Amino acid sequence: MPAIRVVMLAALLALGPPAAALAASATPSAGSAYGQYQQQTAAVTKIAEQVAAADAAIVRAQGDLATLKSQAAATQAHLADLRGQAARMSTQVAGQRTRVDAAVRFLYEDGSVSFLGVLLQATSFSDFLTRFSLVVQVVTAEVGLLRTAAADQAALAKQEAAVAATSQHLATETAAQAATVAQLSKDQAARTAALAAAQSQAASAAASLAALDQALLQGLPELNQVLAGWSQLPWGNVQPANVSVDLGAGDVAVTLSASGLNAAVSIAPLALALAPAGVSLAAPGMVLTGPVAIRGGDVTWEPDQLTVAGAPAGPGVLPALLAGRKLVIPVPAPAPGLSLKSVHLGDGSLQLNFGL
């Protein structure tokens, strides 16, 4: 880029004043530089948007990872609690089974205190039935408790298996999300490096463009001279192409033509052109264009675009050309009581509307 800039600057500075020579030789290189600068600026914007999107994606992924880790920790705590409950339930079932086994032995095995011994101690048949009923109720209750405890133990085991599966699934998802965050961070680093490189190229292009802008300013003497002497141009020689009066409304419309303006102010080789889009000051290879507006009762031309050989001039050229300059187009003095109300641009004409 620096070598190209030196060559382009040398070519521009060697052109001299003529606008035709400027259009023929300087502006293709300038147009190429402006296009390159615009492309690099667009590339910087695009990569910056990609970096911002990558940052947002990493923030979202890190949030998802934190959520997964929190869920996994809660699931692990729940699983540990269930395993503790299962251990306690196993102890309870084992104790219940021991009591049932003891009761069964008490009923059906021979021993020092047997079922038969208990029954033989009955004092009557009614007492015998009572004793038998009480022993059976004790054993039945123990068996019921054993069955309930066993069912609770089975349900707890099923719940524990489900929570363990959930914990494993969360662990897998957490690992995958952590890998995603790592990849996004890697991609972000690459994009950030690309952004820095693009910004460096854009800065180099901007520096070259600033130098080209300065060279172009040196190569636009006619335009610069006309703008510098704008207020001294003989606008008073301009004759209206048409004047219409609406007596009922108290309105006066004065139309100035582009041909009349050019003939009166004599700013060749440049020429004023009037179009709905704005007033243009044109010469071979360059056009300065902008709208008109009413400022303090005067019609003011406000150029906002300069093209050289069809390419937009750099950002530094137009402000430098217009610095400290007020481009006023004097209007015919209206009759007492009338004031300028509006300005209308047409093809080849400028209409000034006065009203009471």
pLDDT in tens, 149-171: 778 878 878 888 888 888 888 88
Judged by DSSP in three states, 323 sits in coil
Q: Long-range contact list for 280-285, CB < 8 A, 24+ apart?
A: 281/223, 281/226, 283/19, 283/23, 283/222, 283/223, 284/19, 284/20, 284/23, 285/19, 285/20, 285/22, 285/23, 285/24, 285/27, 285/309
User: Which of 49-53, 142-146, 196-200, 254-258 is most confident?
Assistant: 254-258
Confidence band of 131 (pLDDT split at 50, 70, 90): low
pLDDT score for 289: 92
| Alpha-carbon radius of gyration of the chain | 48
Q: Where are the beta strands (DSSP E) in 72-131?
A: none
- Residue 40: pLDDT over 50: yes
Evaluate if residue 298 carries a pLDDT over 90: no
pTM of the complete model = 0.47
Domain 20-218 has CATH 1.10.287: yes
User: What confidence tens digit (pLDDT) does each residue in 303-318 have?
Assistant: 998 887 777 777 778 8
Segment 194-215, tens digit of pLDDT: 888 888 877 877 776 677 676 6
Please give the residue that has the higher pLDDT: either 67 or 8.
67
State the span(s) of the chain assigned CATH 1.10.287: 20-218
Cβ(313)–Cβ(214) under 8 Å? no
304 neighbors 290 (Cβ within 8 angstroms):
yes
- Nearby residues of 97 by Cβ (< 8 Å), 6 or more positions away: 146
